[in-house]
Structure 1
Amino acid sequence: MTGAERAGGAVAPDERLARAALTRVLEPGDEHAGRWLRSYGAVGFLERLLGGGEDVCPGTGGKRVEGWRRRAAGAEPARDLDAVRRDGGRFLVPGDLEWPRQLDDLGDARPVGLWVRGPADLRTWALRSVALVGARACTPYGAHIAADLATGLARRGWVVVSGAAYGIDGAAHRGALAAGGATVAVLACGIDTPYPRGHAQLIGRIAEQGLVLGELPPESHPTPARFILRNRVIAALTRGTVVVEARHRSGSLATARTAARLGRHTMAVPGPATSALSAGAHELLRGDATLVTDADEIVELVGDMGELAPARRGPVLPRDLLAPAAAHVLEAVPARGPTPTTEIARRAGTGPDETLARLYELHSLGFVERYGIGWQLTNNGTRPSNARRGDT
């Protein structure tokens, strides 16, 4: 199925054209405009803005309505749609086969539509996706963790979603691409206007192997407010959000908090307690976020029932395999010098015969050695490396 076919669905052409125009008129996430859009529909709302009259949107400030009208008068949706199609892209709206329905959880802040580049089906990919976000000015530790998590998720068949920014975002995208996996970049500008400029090549690779999408029409530029508003799409689109590194004031925390409000999983990776770049992640962990350190732990939260992370434990030592009675006697053998059986029995609180039987068992297993009337630990037992052999 081609991108144009996936973007077809049951949506009328005039509805798609009106929504394309409204992406020029409204700022992303404008809930006030979203209420009118829900009341009038895209075509009706646009007609009201273009038709004049003083009572277009009762209760909405005059300056706001006037701004909408000016932008609506200058919108050229057919030109925008043609420009995106020439670049191999498409414009998705609610009702399309490819529209990710989890975005509807945003209510009146739901995107008017999404401009998309890339060969994959967004709805299918979003069903099995995780957001990896964090600081732009990240540490080498943060970049390593982000790339490692993305690689692990990609190898397990999960889609990595991020914002294509410097730092953690870029490391996450590169980690997924390096594993031959799937990744989605959600931009705060037009999909034909790569930002940051230093990531133009990376965004181009994502468009070839994955998906690049945004709410803004072609040639739109990013603003600080648009970055924050973009984050709600990342949160809503995915099954969970992982914050790798973030300061106390960070857009990544906004992404995680939006995810929590929407009922998605929120996760964070711990860092040094002395690092300001980990302070935001630690703040989340003091709340309702879950601590994660690798892809297995992420999948355990966001995956299907039974996708559990492997049990974590230290290495198994030979003495861990001993029967309880033998282990108890072994603990009673002093670390230095040969010790008589009676003294070991006293320390262990067992009878001499039982103690002697256990000592011979431990001797056969290489845990103790006999010196005359006494017993001493071997290195397997474990005797200190600088212990000297007792006299026989």
Structure 2
Amino acid sequence: MTCSDPSSAPEPGEYEPPSESGPRPGPVGDDATARACLTAVADPGDTAMGALLDEHGAAAVWQALRDGETPQPPPGARPDTVARRAARWRDRAARIDPDALLATTAELGSRLIVPGDPGWPTQLDQLGRRRPYALWVRGAHDLRHACLRSVAVVGARAASAYGTHVAGELAWGLGQRSWAVVSGGAYGIDSAAHRGTLAAAASAVAVLACGLDLSYPRGNEALFADIAARGALVSEHPPGNPPSKHGFLVRNRIIAALTPGTVVVEAGLRSGALNTARHGQDLHRTVMAVPGPVTSALSAGCHRLLRDGAAVCVTGTDDVVEQVGRIGADLRSEEGGTALDRDSLDATARRVLDAVPDRACAGTASVAEAADLGLDAALSSLGLLAAAGFVERGPSGWRTTTGRGPGRG
């Protein structure tokens, strides 16, 4: 999919689909397909589109735009704002071929997940009307599972040697404890965090500000390939959508929302990392900052967060886990222990626990099959068991904490 010159100049971060001649595809009523198309029509995080989706549903909104109509503004929305944006959305919708869009996704080895899917990270729903319409994902890991135990590590692109060392060590230490690390795929702190996570054989999640068919920055192309092989690449942009300044800023809300906590390693006073921290504060997530030399402009943003009481000071993995870990799952003693006793588990949870191997890792589908349960039921029980310290995410799936946690007797 390529981008063509629009008839009018787009606003920053807007996606212009290819203007192709030919007949308009027929009506589309499927919610997932409609959401896929809407990612190519509306800016990410547009609250006017979010309000319409809440009121009418994706299929109805998409059909109205394809029919050249303006969806009825929901109560409380400004009709003039909806009408102005709908004019732009209709123009783009007329040039979208849903079949071609989804075919391109399949060719790239990507997949689409939407709200309500088993693999949808439900913590994103806390974004309200700024929730992504859908997410494009490429990689070996299930995004929802990868983010069950995760921390965002962000910071400056032009990072110092001190910053990249700290970010890599933090990410490696978190990975050793089966925590996934989420970051933005940029040079500097982001790259160091991703590489540290991969070195620990843990899940690395990169949230990109462009289509998954593009490597930006290009110098990280090999890193993105490694993340796709052992983690997940994520974007709310369709294939062919190039990066933009607006896209980077709006992307940061997803990084903050996916995780229970964000660590800012290095950041200037005006930086995308501080933007991510602010999103974390708005979502009532834990915000942490690593102190640096008082003479370093790269740490000035971290020091401001600490001085203003907007972040907790952290200097290592133990500090981070203490802030975001769950009692019984991460703050247990060296001998192990869990937040719940096995006898307190319901029958379904015990079946799932019995289906999880002790040493080798098993994927969610394998656990569900062994427990004779549906995928949703298995997912729910695995989340409970992970929170209670019975199971953990390994390099390629789930395993019990036998030897550090409860036995099966």
TM-score, normalised by the number of residues in structure 2: 0.71
Q: What is residue 327 of structure 1 aligned with on the other side?
A: none
Alpha-carbon spacing, 1:55–1:81, altered in 2? closer, same or farther (3 Å): closer
Give the conservation status (yes or no) of the 8 Å contact 2:65–2:71: no
Query: How far off is 1:142 after superposition?
Result: 0.3
Give the Cα–Cα distance (whole angstroms) in 2 for the partners of residues 122 and 131 of structure 1.
14
The alignment's C-alpha RMSD in Å is 1.7
Give the Cα–Cα distance (whole angstroms) in 2 for the partners of residues 221 and 137 of structure 1.
22
- Counterpart residue type for residue 36 of structure 1: L
Once the two structures are superposed, residues 359-390 of structure 1 have per-residue CA deviations (whole angstroms, 9 ceiling, x without a partner) of xxxxxxxxxxxxxxxxxxxxxxxxxxxxxxxx
Alpha-carbon spacing, 1:20–1:232, altered in 2? closer, same or farther (3 Å): same
Q: What is residue 300 of structure 1 aligned with on the other side?
A: 322
Q: What is residue 288 of structure 2 aligned with on the other side?
A: 267
Query: How far off is 1:216 after superposition?
Result: 0.3
Q: What is residue 173 of structure 1 aligned with on the other side?
A: 194
Query: How far off is 1:271 after superposition?
Result: 0.2
Q: Which of 1 and 2 has greater Rg?
A: 1
Alpha-carbon spacing, 1:55–1:288, altered in 2? closer, same or farther (3 Å): closer
Q: Where do 5+ consecutive residues of structure 2 fail to align? A: 1-27, 74-78, 334-409
With 59-68 and 155-164 compared, the bigger mean Cα shift is at: 59-68
Give the Cα–Cα distance (whole angstroms) in 2 for the partners of residues 96 and 225 of structure 1.
28
Q: What is residue 175 of structure 2 aligned with on the other side?
A: 154
Once the two structures are superposed, residues 222-277 of structure 1 have per-residue CA deviations (whole angstroms, 9 ceiling, x without a partner) of 10000000000000001100000000001111111111111111000000111110
Q: What is residue 236 of structure 1 aligned with on the other side?
A: 257
Give the Cα–Cα distance (whole angstroms) in 2 for the partners of residues 125 and 264 of structure 1.
18
Query: How far off is 1:160 after superposition?
Result: 0.5
- Counterpart residue type for residue 51 of structure 2: R
Q: What is residue 105 of structure 1 aligned with on the other side?
A: 126
1:17 paired residue among 33, 39, 52: 33
Matched, 1:30 2:46: yes
1:197 paired residue among 208, 218, 228: 218
Q: What is residue 185 of structure 2 aligned with on the other side?
A: 164
1:46 paired residue among 33, 52, 62: 62
Alpha-carbon spacing, 1:209–1:54, altered in 2? closer, same or farther (3 Å): closer
1:283 paired residue among 304, 319, 344: 304
Give the conservation status (yes or no) of the 8 Å contact 1:299–1:309: no
Q: What is residue 216 of structure 1 aligned with on the other side?
A: 237
SS at match of 1:60: helix
Give the conservation status (yes or no) of the 8 Å contact 1:135–1:246: yes
2:90 paired residue among 69, 90, 105: 69
Query: How far off is 1:61 after superposition?
Result: 5.3
- Counterpart residue type for residue 29 of structure 1: G
Percentage of identical aligned residues = 53
With 161-170 and 279-288 compared, the bigger mean Cα shift is at: 279-288
Give the Cα–Cα distance (whole angstroms) in 2 for the partners of residues 154 and 291 of structure 1.
20
1:116 paired residue among 115, 120, 137: 137
Query: How far off is 1:309 after superposition?
Result: 10
Alpha-carbon spacing, 1:141–1:55, altered in 2? closer, same or farther (3 Å): closer
Alpha-carbon spacing, 1:181–1:53, altered in 2? closer, same or farther (3 Å): closer
Give the conservation status (yes or no) of the 8 Å contact 1:135–1:168: yes
- Counterpart residue type for residue 237 of structure 1: L
Give the conservation status (yes or no) of the 8 Å contact 1:232–1:258: yes
Once the two structures are superposed, residues 51-92 of structure 1 have per-residue CA deviations (whole angstroms, 9 ceiling, x without a partner) of 234675433254422111111111122212222222222000
Once the two structures are superposed, residues 153-200 of structure 1 have per-residue CA deviations (whole angstroms, 9 ceiling, x without a partner) of 000100010000000000000111112221000000001111101111
Q: What is residue 404 of structure 2 aligned with on the other side?
A: none
- Counterpart residue type for residue 301 of structure 1: Q
Give the conservation status (yes or no) of the 8 Å contact 1:296–1:308: no
Give the Cα–Cα distance (whole angstroms) in 1 for the partners of residues 121 and 209 of structure 2.
18
TM-score, normalised by the number of residues in structure 1: 0.74
Give the Cα–Cα distance (whole angstroms) in 1 for the partners of residues 82 and 295 of structure 2.
47
Give the Cα–Cα distance (whole angstroms) in 1 for the partners of residues 83 and 284 of structure 2.
36
Give the conservation status (yes or no) of the 8 Å contact 1:49–1:56: no
Once the two structures are superposed, residues 285-316 of structure 1 have per-residue CA deviations (whole angstroms, 9 ceiling, x without a partner) of 12231000111110111111154499xxxxxx
Give the conservation status (yes or no) of the 8 Å contact 1:118–1:207: yes
Give the Cα–Cα distance (whole angstroms) in 1 for the partners of residues 165 and 71 of structure 2.
56
Give the Cα–Cα distance (whole angstroms) in 2 for the partners of residues 246 and 147 of structure 1.
16
| Structure with the larger helix share | 1
Give the Cα–Cα distance (whole angstroms) in 2 for the partners of residues 166 and 189 of structure 1.
15
- Counterpart residue type for residue 132 of structure 1: V
